[in-house]
Structure formats: C-alpha cells, structure tokens
Structure 1
Amino acid sequence: MSTEKISLDIHKILTLLPHRYPILLVDRVLDLEPHRSIKALKNVSFNEPYFMGHFPNRPVMPGVLILEALAQTAALLAFSEEPHDPVSTLYLFVGIDNARFKRVVEPGDQLILKATFERHMRGIWKFRARAEVDGMVAAEADLICTVRRTVGNGQQDAGLR
C-alpha cells in the first residue's frame, strides 16, 4: 500500500461521485492517502440555495448538509481503493454516531472536511469525520456507510454487499 498523497480537482470528483448541483458538497480534495485519510474543501458561498430559507436574516449552513459534505468526503476516500461505477452504485448512510456541532458555518467560510478510515467489514465502511473552519471544529461524527449497486431503473440490488 502506497503512502503517496494525492489531490483531486472538481473534474476528477465528478467522475467518482454521482452528486451534482445543488447537492455536490466537495469542491476539491487537498490531500488523499488511500485507505487511510482524506482532507477536502467546500467553499461556502452566499449563493447556495439553502441560504434563502436557512435563515433569511442570518444565513447558516444546515448541520445535515455539513454531515452530507463529510459523507461525500468519506465516499471519495472509500472509492480511492474500491473500483466502482458512479452511475450504477449508490453510496448510502447506514448510521451516524456521536454527531456534534460546535460552530456555525456561514457564507464566506472555507469548510475543511477530514475523514479517517476506521474499518471495512462485510460491505460496511466506518469513518471518523470532522469539519473545520479556520482551524476550529464546526462538526464531527462517526459515519457508517455502504455501497449498493442499482439495477436498471435506479432501484437498489439488495443482494450486493
């Protein structure tokens, strides 16, 4: 296993993740050590559609979207080792444990997304994830995810692990 560190631009991210605007929440991978850790970036812009209603007088990035950004980051880490086709696979949450929100994330912030591989067993991946702004923890959680193949009409193939 190589310890070479890798970075990925948005074009490579788009080949690895099925997400698109407005739910693609990773702009760049700054540092990727396959099967170990990843550090990614989300530039939080006032133009994000959720800020219109969350909240009109004080825009705050919803915590669930911070968790989604962390899950997408973890998916990029998982896909650094596992071959997959983003058109025919779904990367799904199985669980979120120990989620904590420590700081609001506002327009103009750069969200640094970090995930560390914990374990992979029987199709279930576990990651320790953390989101930071200016070196301060904004959110952290243990993420449990799985990959499922989709069949022709987008339904899950329940038998794949």
Structure 2
Amino acid sequence: MSDINELLSNLPHRYPFILVDRIIAFKKFTFLNAIKNISINEPYFQGHFPQNPIYPGVLLLESMIQTSVLLLYKSINNKKLKKNIFYYLTGIDKVRFKKPAFPGDQIMIESNLEKQKNSLIFFNNTAKINNKIICQSKIICMKILK
C-alpha cells in the first residue's frame, strides 16, 4: 500500500531510527497495519546478541509507537497542519512479550486507535510473526501544537 517515501513524508524519524518498512492497511483515525522486516545487517545485532541475535524489545516497542504515530499523521490531510503537530509518547501500559523476533522475520504491527481524551490519544497494538502474537501493548501519546 505504501513505500518508504510515504513513510518518510508522514514520520518525523529518519535513518537509522525508521523502524517501520511499509504500510499495508489503513483506515483514517481507526487503524494502521505496518510491516517491519528484520535484517541481520541492522547495527544493533553486533551487540544484541552476536551469538544469538534477537530484535531488541525496546525497538519492537518503538516500531509499535511509530506505527501508532503513522496512523495519526497519515490521517491528517493538511500538510501545513502536519508541520505544526507533534505526537510525543507519554505512556506504555500492559506490555507483554510473548516470543522473540530474529533476523529474517517479518513483523506485522497492528495499531488501533482506542480513544482520544483532550490531547491524549490511546492505542492498542499487537505485533505478530506468521500470524502469532509476539507482543502486545497499550500506548498513550500526547498531541502538541507548535
């Protein structure tokens, strides 16, 4: 559904901190599904762990956060408005890691907008490999106008 150029136009992050590779499904202000491909060439595998490389859990959470923020930025059509809105992480709840991710895996990340209360936005996220859940989380972001 999307390529890296669309991701870059909707996320403030840049290399080496883009942790989502492709958007595959989207419904405005409702949900966004994305893919993260895990490659052995990524620099963190040099130290996490060289004999048994595992995608770091904190980076998996960051991939989920970026998917949630992509949902918000992609839902806003006004490019001028996009430049003045920032979303900052304010909380992560109910994180459960069920299985690790390894080089060669493709992670499907599902982000669902649960609710918005004032400037806070709440998401339910699930990460899967081969349709099996590897992580679940609830993420809270704050909308800031600059």
TM-score normalised over the length of structure 1? 0.83
Tell me, yes or no, if structure 1 residue 53 matches structure 2 residue 50: no
Residue of structure 2 in register with 1:96 after alignment: 92
Question: Contact 1:115–1:127 at 8 Å: present in 2 too?
Answer: yes
Equivalent residue runs for 1:128-139 within 5 Å: 128-139=124-135
Letter in structure 2 aligned against 1:39: N
How many Å separate the matches in 1 of 2:32 and 2:21?
13
CA RMSD, Structure 1 to Structure 2 (Å): 1.4
CA distance in 2, matches of 1:62, 1:11: 25
2:69 is matched with which residue: 48, 64, 75?
Answer: 75
Aligned length: 143
Change (3 A) 1:146 1:45: same
Could you say which residue in structure 1 is the equivalent of 2:38? 44
Confirm or deny: 8 A CA contact 2:73 2:82 kept in the other structure: no
| Aligned residues of 1:38 and 1:77 also touching (Cα < 8 A) | yes
After TM superposition, give the deviation of residue 90 of structure 1 in Å: 3.5
Shift in Å at residue 36 of structure 1?
Answer: 1.1
Q: Could you tell me how far 1:72 is from its partner in structure 2?
A: 0.5
The code of the aligned residue for 1:123 comes to S
SS at match of 1:66: helix
Deviation at residue 78 of structure 1 after TM alignment? 1.3
For 1:55 and 1:149, how far apart are their aligned partners in 2? Answer: 40
State the identity as a percent.
Answer: 37
TM-score for both structures, normalised by structure 2: 0.91
Q: Corresponding residue for 1:14? A: 8
Between 1 and 2, higher relative CO (CA 8 Å, sep ≥ 6) is seen in: 2
Partner in structure 2 of residue 120 of structure 1: 116
**8 Å contact from structure 1 (residues 27, 43) kept in 2:** yes
Structure 1 segments of 4+ aligned residues over 4 angstroms from their partners = none
Q: Aligned partner of 2:33: which letter?
A: K
Structure 1: gaps spanning 5 or more residues: 1-6, 151-161
